[in-house]
Amino acid sequence: MTRAKRDFGTIRKRANGRWQAYYMGPDQAFHRAPSTFDAKVDAEAWLAAERRLMQNDEWSPSKSRRAKVVRSTEMFGPYAEAWLEQRELKPRTQALYRRLLDRFVLPAFAEVSLRDITPQVVRAWHSGLDASRPAAGAHLQSVALDSVDSGD
C-alpha cells in the first residue's frame, strides 16, 4: 500500500487497487472521501476541491454536506420504487424485495421524507415487527437500510 504525503491531505493505494483520500479538517478531525477512486488523479481532484472550500470559507464536514444535497424533500415511496427498478437482482430476490416493500416497508415509510428516515427510525420501526418471524424482520431491516443508504 503506497501512501503519498502531501502538503494537504493524504492519498493511499488500497490493496484492491483503488485510491483513498483523506485530510484533517479545520475541526481537527479526519475526513475521508465518500468513496474510493479508480484513479489517483480523481483522489487528488477531490482533495483539491475540499481545500478550495476551506480557502473560500465554504467548508463544512462532508457528512452534513451530503445530507443537504440529496435527501431534502424526496419521499421514500417514489425513491424505493426507483431503487428497486435500478437494482440488478435475480428474479426471486426482486420478487422478495417487492413483497417486503409492499407489505411492510411502504405502508410505514411511503410518505416519509428521506431525510427523516434515519437508522434510529428504522430500528424503532423494526422493533415493532412481529417477533415470531425473526427472519422476515431481518430481511426487512436489510431492505429498508440498504435502500436508504444506497441513495448516494
Q: Which alpha helices (DSSP H) does the chain contain, by range?
A: 40-55, 62-69, 76-86, 91-100, 106-109, 119-127, 134-149
Q: What is the mean pLDDT of residues 108-120?
A: 84
| Higher pLDDT pick, 106 / 133 | 106
Most confidently predicted of 14-28, 63-77, 120-134, 136-150: 14-28
Q: What is the mean pLDDT of residues 19-40?
A: 88
Locate the domains of the chain by residue range: 3-69, 76-149
Please tell me whether residue 96 adopts helix, strand or coil conformation.
helix
Could you give the CA distance from residue 15 to residue 48 in angstroms, rounded to a whole number? 24
Q: Residue 105: its pLDDT value, please?
A: 87
Could you give the CA distance from residue 40 to residue 17 in angstroms, rounded to a whole number? 10
pTM of the model: 0.44
Please give the DSSP secondary-structure letter assigned to residue 30.
Answer: E
Q: What is the mean pLDDT of residues 59-70?
A: 60
Q: Residue 66: its pLDDT value, please?
A: 54
Q: What is the mean pLDDT of residues 49-65?
A: 79
Residue 7: pLDDT above 90? no
Q: What is the mean pLDDT of residues 42-57?
A: 89
Q: What is the mean pLDDT of residues 107-127?
A: 84
Please tell me whether residue 133 adopts helix, strand or coil conformation.
coil
Residue 11: pLDDT above 90? yes
Please, which pLDDT band fits residue 69 given cuts at 50, 70 and 90?
Answer: very low
Could you give the CA distance from residue 76 to residue 108 in angstroms, rounded to a whole number? 10
